[in-house]
A and B are shown apart, each in its own frame.
Chain A
């Protein structure tokens, strides 16, 4: 069965500091992996996605993620956080085997302090 674990419910970082959000997945075949961001009361915005190929994926807003099959992980990183990055971040997994349905992790709330 598909599942996603985001072990950190919330994280606080200082503006300008680096960020890493953790994500581990369980999927029976080649996974498609995603990171979405959601601001309060808003819909989802896709930050980046991995389907195949280069395991280091670049996304929007300066985010990147690295797929590590051996660790079943897809951690999200950003070298320098801006106050506007404060939001909820969701890691998600899907794929052909699951009929392309996307399963979300519990989310990590990012707080940015000045």
Chain B
């Protein structure tokens, strides 16, 4: 299967600072990327969908000014958590898919980034 890599795997930041998480497709062109958040012992909640070269589409209830998503290239999308607070501490996971793929191909997930805000 295709490979999606996230960086960093874990990050600790101080309250009030911003942190950037990268999601890269290593062996395909990711025309679409999805960002999820997973709180401890909970499910994955879709935050937003980003298409290369376009503004991200955010799910209801997700603050787009707080979670900035940039998908400027076909292999990289970034999620920036601005002015992070302890309640933003979570596991953030991206997935990616190519428009060139047939319909019966799933999106591939990165390994996730554990964010802790202190």
A: residues with CB less than 8 A from B are: 32, 34, 41-44, 46, 49, 51-52, 90, 94, 96, 99-107
Contact = CB atoms under 8 A, between A and B. Distances in A.
B49 A101 contact: yes
B87 interface: no
21 contacts: A32-B106, A42-B111, A42-B112, A43-B109, A44-B44, A44-B109, A49-B106, A51-B103, A51-B104, A52-B104, A99-B32, A100-B32, A100-B97, A100-B107, A101-B34, A101-B46, A102-B106, A103-B46, A105-B43, A106-B43, A107-B42
Interface residues of B, number: 21
B22 to A, nearest CB: 15
Q: Which 9 A-B pairs have the closest CB atoms?
A: A51-B104, A43-B111, A104-B44, A43-B112, A106-B43, A104-B43, A44-B109, A107-B43, A96-B103
Interface in B23-62: 32, 34, 36, 42-46, 49
Contacts of B95: 102
A61 B110 CA distance: 21
A110 B110 CA distance: 23
Report whether over half of chain A's contact residues are helix, strand or loop; otherwise say mixed.
Answer: loop
Contacts of A44: 44, 93, 109, 112
B106 A34 contact: yes
Contacts of B49: 99, 101
B3 to A, nearest CB: 12
Contacts of A100: 32, 97, 107
A61 B109 CA distance: 19
